[in-house]
Each structure stands twice: as structure tokens, then as C-alpha cells.
Amino acid sequence: MPNPSEQSSCLVLENFIGGKFVPCRTHIDSYDPSVGEVYCRVPDSGAQEVEAAVAAAKEAFPGWSARSPEQRAQVLNKLADLLDANVEEFAQAESRDQGKTVTFARTVDIPRSAYNFRFFASSLLHHTNDCSQSDHMGCLHYTIRCPVGVAGLISPWNLPLYLLTWKIAPAIAAGNTVVAKPSEMTSVTAWMMCKLMQQAGVPPGVVNIVFGTGPKAGDALVGHPDVPLVSFTGSTATAQCITERSAPYCKKLSLELGGKNPAIIFADADLDRCIETTVRSSFSNQGEICLCTSRIYVEGSIYSEFLERFVAAAKKWKTGAPSDPGNDNGALISKEHLEKVRSFVALAKSEGGTVHCGEGVDQLHLPERNAKGYFMPATVISGISDSSRVMQEEIFGPVTCVSPFDSEEEAVSKGNGVRYGLAATVWSQDVGKVHRMARKIQAGMVWTNCWLVRDLNLPFGGMKNSGVGREGGKDSYHFFTEVKTVTVKH
């Protein structure tokens, strides 16, 4: 397998349609964010390429959906094994393409991508359907579930292979065929995985990957009449376009969107654990995880102590060359994104906020080779009003804001005071309080005294502007199948 991280000449990707690599006539430049240079050219696909991919997926559907779940599971397990066997090449490539550290890609992105296949290979074998009796009418009712057909899958740039496989795995495990479009900014590992698809014996047309931009390739996929279902992970603004585009066809949609996630820290929290975890939840993957904490509300009596200790811990969070195992963070995805994230820090300052560490306060010491990369240190801000754009909008970078609260009611109202509702963390040793908070906080996921501990069997997704629908074991199975109720009278 080619290792993109070692290639000096420009890497040129091809679409994967009907089990074959198909060159595209036009391309988009893709940057290595840690050096700020183009290193890869991604197909700039449009309606024609999407049409070919959908046709291949339609052709493959009858054969693939007729296989037994066990036969499909074997292929998924083989893919998982192949990803595990190539973890280093994939981790290097993900890091180069996305800017994240190699360590993060090696320990999070790629192992989780392999696990997505392994999990859904197994999970699919364990679902049961419903049955009920109406003896007085001589009837038995039961449900059956059928794959939907060609699934359209669209994924973002922050966890490229991780989130793409989170969609491909349940879709094909349930018997669908897919046309996937990864982010145009991070397409390399998806392209590398196509080779593994061939090796794993994924039949031609079961997984098709079309590379390109959202408004061109993504729009053609969402608007294709033969794609009855779209699973999308990305921004709330794009989800609104997708919803409108698919409305005339009444498509089934799963939308996993942005967040502005609060951490609510009560005075009785175990502060050592809380600070260590909240630094991680604020800054992991450069703060480019939809679940990252970006608003930290701290009970007044411990506010000063928390702020001092939290800033000291954030200052130890190291940012630099992604290949250096001593670094916690690498580069942000793009120059434009770095500028956007910085503009929020500037806005916070202009509104009288205090920047305790990071942007404009601490100097990064980067190797010469990374001087033009898109780096930004972990930044902690306080003194911002809850109505500020800094506290309301998703920044999606290594920036977090700290603010005090006085009562449980105030914590709930501050936590819920944004249009998003993806995830929250609550810190307290009072079991009654954490249960109460979990019920009152408007978020699809509430972690108490921890963060990002996942059981893939349970639902993942957001409320309010953070999404529609849930994914995970049973929820993904339900989304990627159509249920029918059958009544038999005897």
C-alpha cells in the first residue's frame, strides 16, 4: 500500500466506483495543515461521477442484501483486521492529511475505525424484531426489517476515517450498498481504505467513494432520486441545505451536527480528575471534536481555585509538530479555519474578556518546517457574557471559556442557553444531583465525572440544532433498515 506520508511528489486520488479506481478529470488541492502546503489532489467529482457510483451501488444491492448477515459480517471483520494490520500507515496518513498528532490518530482514529467494522459485524447478528398477538381476532402481528437500498453518506474533516466508517459499517452490515463522500479536505485515508475493500472481498459496487466538494459532489448525492437515505455528519448550516435539498424526495435523514458543549462543575467535584479531564475535553484533537467542551460553568465558591488550576493545566497542553510524540495537539485543519478560530479570541478581547493562556499570550516554538502550519495553542478565556457570540457559536478550535454560577437552577439555565444540544459533562460527587442534572440538561449525551466514554450499543446524537436522529447499535440498525408490520390471520 502506498504510504502518503512518505511521498514527496503530489498524491493524486481517484474515485472508487464499482470496485475499481476511476480517475477524475478535475481536482481540488488538499493541504498538509502542519506545513501549509498542497501535497495531494482530490477528485473534483460532480453529478456524472455520482451518477456512475449510484448506478454501481444499485447493481450491487440485490446480491449484497441477499447474503446472510453472517456472510456480510465476515467481510466487515476482514476489513477490521486489515485496518488493524495497517494502523501505522493509516495513522501517519490521517495525521498528515488532517493536522492531528500521529499519536491521536494511532490511538483513537484508526483503532476506532477498525472497531466500527468489528462492532457492527457483531451487533447486527443480535437484533430481534417485535411480535404481538391478537388472539380474539385470530391474528399474529410481527415486524420485519429490510435494507433500504443505496445509502448516501457524507462525513466531515475532523475525524475523517473514524466518522466515515461509523456510517459505512452499519449501512453495509444491514445489507445496503453505499455511495460515500468524505470531506474534500481529508480524503486520503478513505482512498487508502478502498484498497482494503478490494482485499477484504467487498463485492464491487457495495461501497463506492466519490471525492469532491459539498456543493458539487455532496449536493448531487443528496439530490439523487435513487438514494432514499442520507446519513450526514457536519455543520448545522450544511444540514439545513441537505434537509431542503432532500425534502422533495422525502428522504430518510440522519443529521449529526455541531455542539457548544457545557461542563458544569459543582463545588463537591473531585477537582484533580475534573481538571485533567476538562483540559482533555476542551482541547483534544485541537478542539476539533463535536463533543469538545467549550463552555465551563463553575460553582462560585470554587471558581477562583478552579480557574487558576485549570489555566496552569492548560498551559501544559503542548501544541506543535504532529509527528512529535511529546505534543498533545497538532495543526488546525486550514488557514481559513485558524483565522476563524482566532477571530473569536479577538472578539472575546474586544468585549472585555480575559485571555489567560494560549492565543496572543503564549508563544509556540515550532520547528522551521512547521513555521507556515496552522497552529494555535490551547486558549482559556473568562469574563465573557453568556449572550456573546463567543459563548453562543461553535468555535471548533482549542478555545474554551470559563464562567461562574451560584445555584443548580442557574447552572441548568446557562448550560441550556444556546441553540445546540449535543453533549454535556457534569461534575459532582452527589449522585442525586448528577441524576437531576442529567434529566434537566438539554443534550443527547451527558457524561458525569468523565468525558467521551462510549458504549457503541447506546444512542449517539444531539437535540436542538445539534441533530436529528441517533446512531449507535440499535439506532443505526433502525436507521439503515425500513420496518414493516406484517399481520397474519389464521
Catalytic machinery residues: 256
User: Torsion over CA of 290, 359, 377 and 383, rounded to 10 degrees?
Assistant: -50
- Least distance from ligand NAD to the Cβ atom of residue 238, Å: 3
Task: Name the residue nearer to ligand NAD (CB basis): 64 or 460.
Answer: 460
What's the grid cell of residue 300?
462560585
Smallest distance, Å, CB 144 to ligand NAD? 29
H-only helix segments in 158-258 = 160-173, 188-200, 219-222, 236-246
Nearest approach in angstroms of CB 132 to ligand NAD is 34
CB 184 within 8 A of CB 213: yes
Residue number, 32 or 299, with CB nearest to ligand NAD: 32
Strands, sheet with 293-299, edge to edge from the N-terminal-most edge strand: 354-357, 379-382, 399-405, 293-299, 261-265, 423-427, 445-448
Cell numbers at 282, concatenated:
476542551
Measured CA to CA, the distance from residue 112 to residue 119 in angstroms comes to: 10
Q: Which is nearer to ligand NAD, 92 or 158 (CB)?
A: 158
Q: Which H or E run includes 299?
A: strand 293-299
Helix (H) or strand (E) holding 55: helix 47-66
Nearer to ligand NAD, 50 or 378 (CB): 50
CB of 67 to ligand NAD, least distance (A): 29
In terms of phi and psi (left: phi > 0; alpha: psi -120 to 50; beta: otherwise), the region of 11 is beta
Binding site for ligand NAD (CB under 6 A): 154-158, 163, 181, 183-184, 213-215, 218-219, 222, 233-235, 238, 241-242, 256-259, 290, 394, 396, 422, 462, 467
Shortest Cβ 64–ligand NAD spacing (Å): 24
- Cell numbers representing residue 344 in the block: 473569536
What sign does the dihedral 176-181-186-187 (CA atoms) show? positive
**Shortest distance, CB of residue 352 to ligand NAD, whole angstroms?**
27
For residue 178, the surrounding DSSP H or E stretch is strand 177-181
Nearer to ligand NAD, 287 or 404 (CB): 287
Closer residue to ligand NAD, CB minimum distance, 361 or 468? 468
CA distance 190 to 156: 12
CA 222/CA 230 separation, integer angstroms:
7
